[in-house]
Amino acid sequence: MKVSWVSISVNVLLSAFKLTAGIVAKSSAMVADAVHSASDVCGTVIVMVGVKMSSKESDKDHQYGHERMECVAAILVAVALVIVGAMIGWEGIARITAAEEIPVPGGMALVAAIVSIAAKEIMYWYTYFAAKKSGSGALMADAWHHRSDGFSSIGSFVGILGARLGWPILDPLVCLVICFFILKVGIDVFLDAVGKMTDKSCDDETTEAIRAVVLENGAVLGIDRMQTRLFGEKIYMDIEICLDNTSSLNEAHGVAEDVHKVIEERFPRVKHCMVHVNPAEDLDAM
């Protein structure tokens, strides 16, 4: 939650600074950039709520936990990205097709753009590493939100500089390019979150690594079936192993317990692993 509070503080200060600079320097691009930064505050608040709710313990109505609430938060952030991207694109088109002359912005807007680019890039990497460490999809979505705001500021910088050098049309053209990148990030975050909510299987690398760990157990003669599904950031899996058909019930149970334990110890993202034992003689029949 510390990352989210830092993000909110930076975005509130940055939004106020850019809005002031945009108004004083008469730069519509910088005003739009300030609105973009303000949208980050809303996105971060959504992330905080999602992370908080996803960490709740299982209860009677949610016996598998609340991890998918983080996916809901990521989807809301993705929607915010798409809306902001569309707004920036619409602004660019409106300025290109407008009949009146585009005013030349003042130097303060250029300074604000530079400050914003630096601040948002720092916040992107700060949030990105926190998301990697925690495995949080919602935090990763928020990191990309920072990066998208940085793209917006780069566009503002190029547009403002171009306008001051005599090419005012650069500002709305760059807005359209920024719009494309923001929309792409929003769509990618949305699809990732939806995949985690619809029992998508985990990546092949993780699956093969789990398979290799299971086969390290000398009593396991083979793996008949292994299924995984994402539940938010966590993995649920079902695995069928085959043992010597002369194994006693206690021996088979012990091997199953060992496999269950080693999977959850070696792969922290695996929240639950169901192990089923098949006799080796049934291997060809399956």
Q: 139 near 127, Cβ under 8 Å?
A: yes
CA dist 127 and 10 (Å) reads 12
Residue-level pLDDT at 272: 84
- The domain ranges of the chain are 2-197, 204-282
pLDDT at 4 over 80: no
Q: Of 4-18, 38-52, 263-277, which range is least confident?
A: 38-52
CA dist 148 and 42 (Å) reads 15
pLDDT at 286 over 50: no
In a 3-state reduction of DSSP, which class is residue 227?
Answer: strand
pLDDT at 282 over 60: no
Q: State the average pLDDT over residues 204-214.
A: 92
Residue-level pLDDT at 54: 65
Identify which of 189, 197, 141 has the alpha carbon closest to the alpha carbon of residue 3: 141
* CATH superfamily name and code, 204-282: Cation efflux protein, cytoplasmic domain (3.30.70.1350)
Residue-level pLDDT at 220: 92
CA dist 258 and 103 (Å) reads 71
Most confident of 64-73, 103-112, 224-233, 249-258: 249-258
Sheet holding 222-231, edge to edge: 222-231, 234-243, 270-279
Q: Which structure tokens are listed for 278?
A: 């098949």
Between residues 232 and 265, the one the model is more confident about? 265
Most confident of 44-48, 156-160, 172-176, 206-210: 206-210
Q: State the average pLDDT over residues 45-65.
A: 67
Share of the chain above pLDDT 70, in %: 85
Q: Indicate yes or no: pTM above 0.85.
A: no
Topology (CATH level 3) of domain 2-197: Alpha-lytic protease prodomain-like (1.20.1510)
- Where helices occur in the chain by DSSP H, the ranges are 2-24, 28-54, 68-97, 107-134, 137-164, 170-197, 204-215, 249-266
Q: Which structure tokens are listed for 103?
A: 């005013």
Give the CA dihedral 52, 54, 58, 59, nearest 10 degrees. Answer: 70
273: left (phi > 0), else alpha (psi -120 to 50), else beta?
A: beta
In a 3-state reduction of DSSP, which class is residue 169?
Answer: coil
CA dist 202 and 182 (Å) reads 26
Is the torsion defined by CA of 206, 138, 78, 118 positive or negative?
negative
